[in-house]
Amino acid sequence: MIESALKRLSDNDVGMTNSHQAGFLIPKLFVKEGLFEKLSDEELNPRLRLKFRDLADESEIYLTYIYYNNKFFEGTRHEYRLTGLTRWIKNHGLRSGDTIKIHRIAKYDYTIGIIKAERRPRALSEESWTALYGKEENNEQ
């Protein structure tokens, strides 16, 4: 049984691509191995409200776990997603390369933690500097 999972955030996950994705895709293995509940194929797009304790600030957030299953209703989608994280990501200042850790405590209860990637300036690098050797004359007027 899978009890925890790590999700490395992409540009798309943190809103850098201006896409309108419906939350994080949940691998079907995570459903099969018990990290998330299997949802019915009999009902169109069944969903659950899951409670997450935010380990960063001990607050509670509620996320929607949804099974987009219109494949069984003359459509093409057959995927699980976790939605409702956009504001949480922004509030914590998460960026592409950061990781979230989800841990299942009970059927509808989870924790969510943050592992921030090393922050390196994008605009500045060693190449943006030039070393000057020797005595420099003051050319200011």
pLDDT per position as a tens digit, 71-99:
999 999 999 999 999 999 999 999 999 99
Which residue is associated with the tokens 């020797």? 134
> How is the chain split into domains, by residue range?
4-36+43-117
Backbone φ and ψ of 110, nearest 5°:
-140, 165
Identify the CA nearest to 94 among candidates 72, 119, 67, 116.
116
Number of residues assigned to the chain: 141
Cα(95)–Cα(72) distance, rounded to whole angstroms? 36
Instruction: Identify any residues that bridge with 81 across adjacent strands, giving them in sequence order.
Output: 25, 66
Q: pLDDT grade, residue 49 (50/70/90)?
A: very high
Structural class in CATH, domain 4-36+43-117:
mainly beta
Q: Does the pLDDT at position 16 exceed 80? A: yes
Q: pLDDT grade, residue 125 (50/70/90)?
A: low
Backbone φ and ψ of 136, nearest 5°:
-105, 135
DSSP structure class, residue 127: G
Contact status, residue 44 vs residue 73, Cβ threshold 8 Å: yes
For the chain, report the end-to-end CA distance as a whole number of angstroms. Answer: 74
Q: Does the pLDDT at position 25 exceed 70? A: yes
